[in-house]
Structure 1
Amino acid sequence: MKAANIAALARAGVAIEVVAETGSTNADLLARAAQLTEPLLLVAENQTAGRGRAGRSWLSSSEGSLTFSLAWKFDGGPQALSGLPLAVGVALGDVLGQLGVQVQLKWPNDVLKDGDKLAGILIETQAAQGGGTWAIIGIGLNLIMPDEMEARLGRGAAGAPWLARMERDVLVAALLDGLAEALRLFARHGFGAFCARWNLRHAWQGETVTIIDNGTVLHEGLAAGVDDTGRLLLDTLDGRIALLAGDVSLRVKP
């Protein structure tokens, strides 16, 4: 991949850097946030210490994965970013669908294909000098999922071989354009502009799910989508409740 090629293909008007290898593109951009003056896409051909939500590891390979982070500045504090991971999921779903890969979304930050995880989203924030907030939006996308990688994960995971055959520069440019458009819309209207589209892709709509925190079941009920702030709506025996993301896991009840 070459930054100049991606920039020539993309319409987003975002600065782009490509590195051969790094530990974590999110960590790199967080460390640079104080010096940033404009949005920046950082793509790693190989990421050795990728992270998922709640500090979990994100396993990837240079041949079978695409890993990148996008630094984007928003006005206001982190509280104004409620629902941003879900909006990013909608943007990814739209772009992947246009490229021939149909996906579903799992609350709060996963992209699924045929019920298995295809992509993960990790958003971290840092206050910007002079006001506002930098959102560092990290994305890991599986392209090819070999058996040995699934064995290391200890669970099923999806791949998208069709995307693996694309030129990487073309794929990254398409994803960047979709994300930039979505982030500008989010800055103007918040998650409300994405809510209906997220619910259309909701993988577990109407399914009985459990909300688990550190092995303890906190809630159980029918998944009823999300509201316009990104909270999960759960129909329980005691009525409908709305849940913020936090560090919890959502699982379909067997």
Structure 2
Amino acid sequence: MTTTPRGPLDGDRLAGASDLTPDLTFELLAEAPSTNEVAAERARAGAHEGLVVVADHQSSGRGRLDRSWQTPPGTAVTFSLLLRPTVPPASWPWLPLLVGHNVAKAITALGYDASVKWPNDVLLADDKKVAGILVERVETPTGPAAIVGVGINVAMSAEELPVPTATSLAVAGPDVPDRTSVLLGVVAAVREGYDVWQAGGQRGTARLAASYRAQCATLGREVRVELPGAGELLGRATDIDDDGRLVVETAGGTERVGAGDVIHVRPVAT
């Protein structure tokens, strides 16, 4: 069967992927308000790590900082991966960065030049956002779980993009992979990166930090950081610290940001 970027997700291929990779199980829904909400329900009901809840169309998705995320039917990949991390609680803040890093790696493997804006927005050319990520902690009877929600703009035209700062794989290049291929490649990359990180202990986190820094488009940039609640920071992003926080050199000194909305305010100095 020939698939197209706007064609329906291929349930047979997803079922086959579940058979070949027992650490991943795909649940395909024709439509869902939010895959994160469905995955959280499954987690509380005892679902195992590796469940991937996929919506062919997500009608009321949520992004970071309580933003809404909606796309026309047939144009995006939207899924939530259930994970049950065993790393120490102090390492959990690295999980959103890990996901953004590996989503960007998967999109790069598809032939695009992807990078990450701290903490986990995936960018293509001209700092245009192609994918967003929302990681939520859920308490379950068997311990805490992480719900990793990912949304990728695949087949949206320029006219369908919600904001001028967004892009899609279709806008970025003519040879657009079908949505099922994008989904399988991204899920596999995230799961592989997560397994390596889990098994690596402190060294695994150190390797993740080094790889993330190399791919992070924010470092070396003049930034404006809009902080949760109120307030902002203006300065130069210089590093990611050992806890995954963004280090910003401001006129008043060094600040470390654990949460906030980063805006790149001018190109890297040359």
TM-score, structure 2 as length reference: 0.83
**Gap regions ≥5 residues in structure 1:** none
**2:253: which partner in 1?**
239
Secondary structure of the residue aligned to 2:69 is coil
Alignment check: 8 A CA contact 1:208 1:253 kept: yes
- 51-60 or 191-200: which moved more? 191-200
Structure 1 CA distance for aligned equivalents of residues 174 and 74 of structure 2: 12
Q: 1:186 to 1:92 in 2, by over 3 A?
A: same
**Cα offset for 1:77?**
7.2
The aligned runs of 1:1-254 (5 Å cut-off) are 1-9=9-17, 12-13=21-22, 14-35=24-45, 36-75=47-86, 79-114=90-125, 115-131=127-143, 133-150=144-161, 153-161=162-170, 165-188=176-199, 189=201, 191-213=205-227, 216-245=230-259, 248-253=260-265
Cα RMSD between the aligned structures?
2.3
Structure 2 CA distance for aligned equivalents of residues 64 and 91 of structure 1: 21
- 90-99 or 235-244: which moved more? 235-244
Aligned length: 249
Residues 42-100 of structure 1: CA distance to partner in whole angstroms, max 9, x if unpaired?
11110000000121101212222111111111126755411211111111111111111
Alignment check: 8 A CA contact 1:212 1:218 kept: yes
- Opposite residue 109 of structure 2, the aligned amino acid is Q
Q: 1:215 to 1:228 in 2, by over 3 A?
A: closer
Residues 128-187 of structure 1: CA distance to partner in whole angstroms, max 9, x if unpaired?
3233x211000000113324433xx34321111259732333322221211111111232
Residues 181-206 of structure 1: CA distance to partner in whole angstroms, max 9, x if unpaired?
11112323364331111111221321
TM-score, structure 1 as length reference: 0.88
**Cα offset for 1:214?**
6.2
- Opposite residue 42 of structure 1, the aligned amino acid is V
Q: 1:77 to 1:54 in 2, by over 3 A?
A: farther
Q: 1:135 to 1:214 in 2, by over 3 A?
A: closer
